Amino acid sequence: MRFLLTGFEPFGGGVQNSSREVVDYFNRHTLEDIEIDGVCLPCVFHQSLDVLSQAINQRAYDAVIALGQADIRQAISIERIAINVDDARIADNQGNQPIDESIVVNGLDAYFSALPIKYLASSLHEQGIAVEVSQTAGTFACNHVFYYLQHTLFKTGIPSGFVHLPALPHASPFHSSTVMTLENMTQGITALLISLKEHILTKSTDKKWSAGAID
């Protein structure tokens, strides 16, 4: 079984990006029965899609999981939905700042994740890993990639989706204290990948597990 795992380069004044560090970890470490191709995407709107598209078309994958960093998150956040809009609060790494622009012109308004998000979240929770289901991936580069990924793989049957990670200790301009260590992140994503493999092999349905939000 082969998975594609993507992360992002640092952005917005950050010195590290937790998603790239996790991807780099899996490029150096193997998982039993899962081959992982890790790719770092530029934090540049359209350029990131070119790199993602090239990676997807490089070979056949059993699943594609995109990772990103969200400084305010305190848990591994499995995203539910991607929306067809860029509304950048800050500029990307090449100074682009699209506002109220479609990611795919005339594309669907939104795509749900093609990952079994409740199955994965409940599995991580049962293992004592800090996890949540997120109802929004924002409107910056992460949602940009998430939407394009779901658009590209729509109706292919390939599990795909987006997962946000907290910042690393002292790596974010918005936090001076540890949010989540790299060790905890890699343990969490390891558990997620193994759970996804099991879900694919058993061809089971997603799980009913409360992870809604009221705000």
Q: Give catalytic residues, as residue numbers.
A: 79, 142, 164
Q: Which residues pair with 39 in a beta bridge?
A: 6
CA distances from 114 to 16, 23, 63, 150, 187 (A): 28, 20, 9, 7, 22
Q: How many Å apart are CA 120 and CA 78, to the nearest integer?
A: 8
Q: How many Å apart are CA 121 and CA 153, to the nearest integer?
A: 22
Q: What residue has token string 């090239």?
A: 54
